[in-house]
Amino acid sequence: MWVLPGHQSDSFFFRDSLLKVSANDLNLSPRMSMPISFSKKILLGLTTGLCLQICTLSANANSTFTVRSLGLQKCEQLVGVMQGETESQAVVLYSQWMAGYLTAKNASLGVLDVFPIRDPLGEWVRFVTLVCAGNMNKTLAEVLEGSVSALADYRETDASAETLELSDGEYKIRVYKNYLIRMQQHLNGRGFRVDSIGRFDESTKRAFLEYKKSNNIVGPALPDSLFLVFVLSQGKTQ
């Protein structure tokens, strides 16, 4: 059972072939001495508008090298940055770089989106960071390629795909309707009785809450990045 850092857990791995990474080389079960902490400001505030902060980076050789070589950095560097509570320039730089990667990957694969959680950007960043936490010696590029491979079943290919805003308290995420249906099917396959029709009703919200509690997953009663990483670690959804 995959649980959050600080608990005992078995190792789970991506099953798909990766770019220069064997299928059993990428661990989906983060093992860290301390959990990743994401400030509310980081999770809710990472939007494309923050590109302005990156664009103001000095155009010297050092900053150019840093931007172009981010993919070659080890995951331990990313995780170290994301464990902080401040919205540092490094956090914004990593986040926008990963957003750019996502955009390029969507274009190269000819799909609308390879990541089923549309907004906020912080969910994509957290997803990658969580996977990185279990693969500290891998490069960010390797983990990104492996993550896209693992998310193959969740790609949205319909250019007119409907999105839904889901909320629990103050936290909100926007997901593709097809993704919510898949997660509702997953809940049904695990003994929770919900209608798999892509409607975020009270029974679905309650099921997410109970599922997370029973599996030691923190966070709101939503199919967020923490929930998605856990589902991937369990294999195919029902």
148: closest CA among 165, 128, 166, 130?
128
Query: Using 50, 70 and 90 to split pLDDT, how confident is the model at 157?
Result: very high
DSSP-assigned letter for residue 138 = S
DSSP-assigned letter for residue 71 = G
Q: Does residue 186 surpass a pLDDT of 80?
A: yes
* Percentage of residues in the chain having pLDDT higher than 70: 69
* Pair of tokens at residue 170: 């103050």
Residue type, 48: T
87 in helix, strand or coil? coil
Whole-angstrom distance, CA of residue 157 vs CA of residue 7: 37
Give the mean model confidence (pLDDT) for residues 132-143: 90
Whole-angstrom distance, CA of residue 144 vs CA of residue 146: 5
Q: Does residue 36 surpass a pLDDT of 90?
A: no
Question: Which of 63 and 177 is assigned the larger pLDDT?
Answer: 177
DSSP-assigned letter for residue 216 = T
H-helix or E-strand spanning residue 79? helix 75-82
Residues 6+ apart with CB under 8 A from 77: none
**Where in the chain are the domains?**
40-233
Q: Does residue 3 surpass a pLDDT of 80?
A: no
Q: Does residue 164 surpass a pLDDT of 90?
A: yes
* Pair of tokens at residue 168: 């629990």
Residue recorded with tokens 């960010």? 140
pLDDT of residue 66: 59
pLDDT digits (tens, 9 = 90+) for 67-117: 667 788 889 888 888 887 555 788 888 888 999 999 999 999 999 999 999
pLDDT digits (tens, 9 = 90+) for 191-208: 999 999 999 999 999 999
Question: Which of 185 and 42 is assigned the larger pLDDT?
Answer: 185
Whole-angstrom distance, CA of residue 105 vs CA of residue 71: 14
